[in-house]
Structure 1
Amino acid sequence: MTTTRRSFFAGAAGFAGAAGFAGTAAVLPAAFSGRLLAQEESAPAPAKLPPSIAALPNRRDEAKPITSEEREARIAKARELMAQHGMSAICLAGGTTLSYFTGIRWGNSERMTAIVIPAKGKPYGVCPAFEEERLQERLTLVPAMAETKLYTWQEDDSPYELVAQGLRDAGLATGTLGIEETMPYVFADGIGAALPQVKLVNARPVTVGCRSIKSPAELALMQLANHVTLAVYEAAWKAGHPGMTTHAFSGLISAGYERSGFPGDGSCETGEYSALPHGSIKPQTIREGAIVLIDDGCTVEGYQSDISRTFVYGKPADKMHQVFEIVKRAQAAALATAKPGVPCEAVDAAARQVITDAGYGPGYAHFTHRVGHGIGMDGHEWPYLVKGDKLPLAAHMTFSDEPGIYLRGEFGVRLEDDMYITEDGAKLFTGPSLSLEQPFGA
């Protein structure tokens, strides 16, 4: 359903480390939705690996990094979209959008570093003076960014005035500047004050216009991430058993990702706590005949997977079987509905109708969240499969497909796989769950 712990620990630590900001926190990824507050600290790997975990191969060599040529094409597309939407330039601070266009992994602290990509002309950047050399060497990795001019500031200078100076130097002092939507408010506010003659707008039409349509290389990385996650989940399921704590089960998943060569982890909820989509901080022990719900995924060259599986060790109750089958039909309905030209909200409506018709409606009564979110470099990213989102789907968009039914005080069932939109429909990156007893097939 989400990638909160993984995104926070891997993303925040990685970005903060990359930016060299000791003692400061990176801005939380877009996927952060609160589950970090409802989880114990990241589960440790077991001292001795069970056979199913030990048998997982390292697949790191299968991941093919995004090429500089592809990043060049992304920048070119962004410029086309800027022209279409009347933007003179877009401004990016640290985060996944900066990485998407430049390959630079850079975090945000109180010291602003930003890259401005104009619709015409050369990009420029603003960074602390002591970061100039380090940022410049990263910019040279993408030919379109190699000649980026850097405006540097000392600790008692204003970086916002330098953003303004760069626009004036480019002849864009009275245009429209798109601000990447996850930029910290303090940065956007400072830029706005320094540029009273420039209109600031959300750069989403440009950034989402680029990022929401995945290239073959991006789809290949996401395919690998999904395959790795499903293999790790299956290995953990085989090693798990009644009497094990959910914290220990999460440790099996963490160990599986370490064996596979990619950062990732997994949450685990059981029994009545599986009815809370983002879990509980309370200690839990897996019991025979109880629902177990696992979630999260891994990161492959910056691209995410997000898969949930629900299963039972032993014999499930009849009601559990019934709910599982309803959720399975809802997931299939969403997949069958998703195709180019169909509005995002129609996919949610198709899954929700199945659940409502089965007596678990109306609305969000028991299916308490949207059916899916965009996924790519962020675990949650635009667009979203939810009522009110009328954006038409397009080929090569990617989403989670994750209906659920949550019965407070009893149990919850969620089935989640990631899907990609094809020219005439949609496909899952992974095969769907078969049953509560065989969540990964025979």
Structure 2
Amino acid sequence: MRPRDNPPPRGFPEAEFAQRTEKAQAAMAEAGLDALLLTTEPELRYFSGFLTQFWQSPTRPWFLVVPAKGKPVAVIPTIGAGCMARTWIDDIRTWSSPQPDDDGISLLSQALAELAGKTGRIGLAKGKETHLRMPLSDFESLGWSLPGLAFEDATAILRGLRMVKSEREIEKIAHVCDVVSGAFGAAPELFAAGQSDIEAFRSFKIECLKRGVDDVSYLVGGAGQGGYGDIISPPSGRRLRAGDVLILDTGCLFDGYFCDFDRNFAIGRADDAVRRAYDVVWRATEAGLEAARPGATCAELFAAMQGVLGDGGPQGAGGNEVGRLGHGLGMQLTEWPSHTPWDRTLLEPGMVLTLEPGMTFAPGKVMVHEENIVVREEGAELLTRRAPPELPVI
């Protein structure tokens, strides 16, 4: 891995995008698809390198077509032409948007007819954890304009490509994981009794930005006396006091790639039940680290962590209703696969994952722990700096 104080270069060489496209086209040929129609931010960025925060506006649709041969073709609003021109994409077709009567649909229809034929089979993400990101009425209009087209589910193709990261992708994720690990290491200077949870969150965000992340786009957590029960609500203004347990769970960005992990802290003191719960989830993560090897399934990874949680006491993980114990990580905060009893995805070298065991250890009290790893030939490699085996007390 690159030294911690030397961030990886931004962007990717054209060869990386060419390789991604070629792999997609090989899978398309096997599935009998004539083109892929991509409509969401991570899909467009994966094949083009088009990185912008302008996606936060829902006003304009954006399209990328991957043909059976050759480079992708961008069909985008004119406002994005300059940014797209700085990618490896050569064929950029634009229209003035927003255009209520025809917001790019005629232009997209022409591109699909040209690249796939009027009776082609077009791959589109239709499965779980996907969305269309264009008005349904516009998608219907597209079908009416080319009645011979067939839209097939290409989720498996996109999932298979994006689950296994290149070394350049892994390097970016490793860098942001390390930067944020350093920010968590500064906890004694950031958090204190008497501070409001709003102030704690703000201090942590500022620390992450100072250390070099591009954005703190996801930060949730909670605090409560003897443990917390809710970690997804915004901070309330409640002040930290002795006996509280504070958790912060963050997804920070570097060059469009996320980390996603949490850390727990006791304020002033921690009672025995809290310490035991922390020990259980820490050991469950150890079991996950040992189980995350090529050829294992996500279900087996879940079982390894769940086995430790189930031994954590009479309440154990039986009160855990979050549905999974971790997931994929990359251009999105959560990606495929999921660590669940039903996900039989085989782990492969290059997969970047979170390990996120959590348990209910008392009525209304939970303990959650999370680390980020990459699967290597020899097993799991930590991307985060491992949390201490005992609950830190501030």
Partner Cα distance (1:174, 1:439) in 2: 65
Which of 167, 188, 208 in structure 2 is aligned with 1:257?
208
Q: Distance in 2 between matches of 1:361 and 1:407?
A: 6
- Say whether residues 1:191 and 2:142 are aligned partners: yes
TM-score scaled to structure 2, two decimals? 0.86
Is the Cα contact below 8 Å between 1:295 and 1:307 reproduced in 2? yes
Name the counterpart of 2:304: 350
Aligned-pair CA distance for 1:392: 0.9
In the alignment, structure 1 segments of 5+ residues that lack a partner are 1-57
Higher relative contact order, structure no. (Cα contacts within 8 Å, ≥ 6 residues apart)? 1
1:97 corresponds to which residue?
43
| Matched pairs, number | 377
Please say if 1:66 is aligned against 2:15: no
Choose 100-109 or 185-194, whichever is displaced more. 185-194
Q: What CA RMSD, in Å, does the superposition of the two structures yield over aligned residues?
A: 2.7
Q: Which residue of 2 aligns with 1:115?
A: 64
Secondary structure, aligned partner of 2:117: coil
In the TM superposition, what whole-angstrom CA distance separates every residue of 1:328-369 from its partner, at most 9, and x where no partner exists? 111111121111121112111211121123335687523634
1:205 to 156, 166, 178: 156
| Aligned mate of 1:168, from 76, 99, 113 | 113
The aligned counterpart of 2:74 is: 125
3-state DSSP class of the match of 1:256? Answer: helix
Structure 1 residues 258, 149: closer, same or farther in 2, change over 3 A? closer
CA contact (8 A) 2:327 2:354 kept: yes
1:92-118 deviation per Cα after TM superposition (whole angstroms, max 9, x unaligned): 124122112111135263433211111
Q: Structure 2: give runs of 5+ residues left out of the alignment.
A: none
Distance 1:379 1:250 in 2: 19
Moved more, 305-314 or 190-199: 190-199
Q: Which residue in the other structure is 2:32 paired with?
A: 86
> What is residue 365 of structure 1 aligned with on the other side?
319
1:326-345 correspondence runs (5 A): 326-345=280-299
What is the one-letter code of the residue matched to 1:417?
E
The alpha-carbon distance between structure 1 residues 245 and 162, as it changes in their structure 2 partners (threshold 3 A), is same
Tell whether the 8 Å contact from 1:316 to 1:436 is kept in structure 2 after alignment. Answer: no
Specify the alignment match of 1:412 in structure 2. 366
Whole-Å separation in 2 of the counterparts to 1:78 and 1:436 = 45
Does 2:340 match 1:386? Answer: yes
Task: Please tell me the residue identity of whatever aligns with 2:205.
Answer: S
Alignment correspondent of 1:150:
93
Indicate if the aligned counterparts of 2:221 and 2:231 stay in contact, CA closer than 8 A. Answer: no
Q: Following TM superposition, by how much is the alpha carbon of 1:408 offset from its aligned partner in structure 2, in angstroms?
A: 6.2
Kindly indicate whether residue 104 of structure 2 is the aligned counterpart of residue 159 of structure 1: yes
- Give the whole-Å Cα distance in 1 for the aligned partners of 2:210 and 2:316: 44
TM-score (norm 1): 0.78
Q: Is the Cα contact below 8 Å between 1:246 and 1:268 reproduced in 2?
A: no
Alignment partners' CA distance in 1, 2:294 and 2:95:
45
Q: SS in structure 2 opposite 1:392? A: coil
Equivalent position SS for 1:219: helix
User: Residue deviations 1:199-238, cap 9 Å, x none?
Assistant: 2123222222221111111111111100011111121343
Structure 1 residue runs of 4+, over 6 Å off?
none
Compared CA separation, residues 245 and 214, structure 1 to 2 (3 A): same
Q: Which residue of 1 aligns with 2:257?
A: 303
SS in 2 for 1:170: helix
Instruction: Tell me if the contact between 1:372 and 1:385 (Cα under 8 Å) persists in the aligned partners.
Output: yes
Measure how far apart 1:182 and its partner are.
2.7
| C-alpha separation in 1, matches of 2:238 and 2:363 | 14
| 279 and 167 in structure 1: CA distance in 2 versus 1, 3 angstrom threshold | closer
Do structure 1's residue 222 and structure 2's residue 147 form an aligned pair?
no
Question: 1:300 is matched by which residue type in structure 2?
Answer: F
SS for the counterpart of 1:244 is coil
Amino acid at match of 2:39: A
Identity %, equivalent residues? 25
Map 1:392-403 → 2, pairs under 5 A: 392-403=346-357
Check the 8 A contact 1:337/1:346 in 2, yes or no.
yes
Query: Is 1:178–1:202's contact at 8 Å kept on the other side of the alignment?
Result: yes
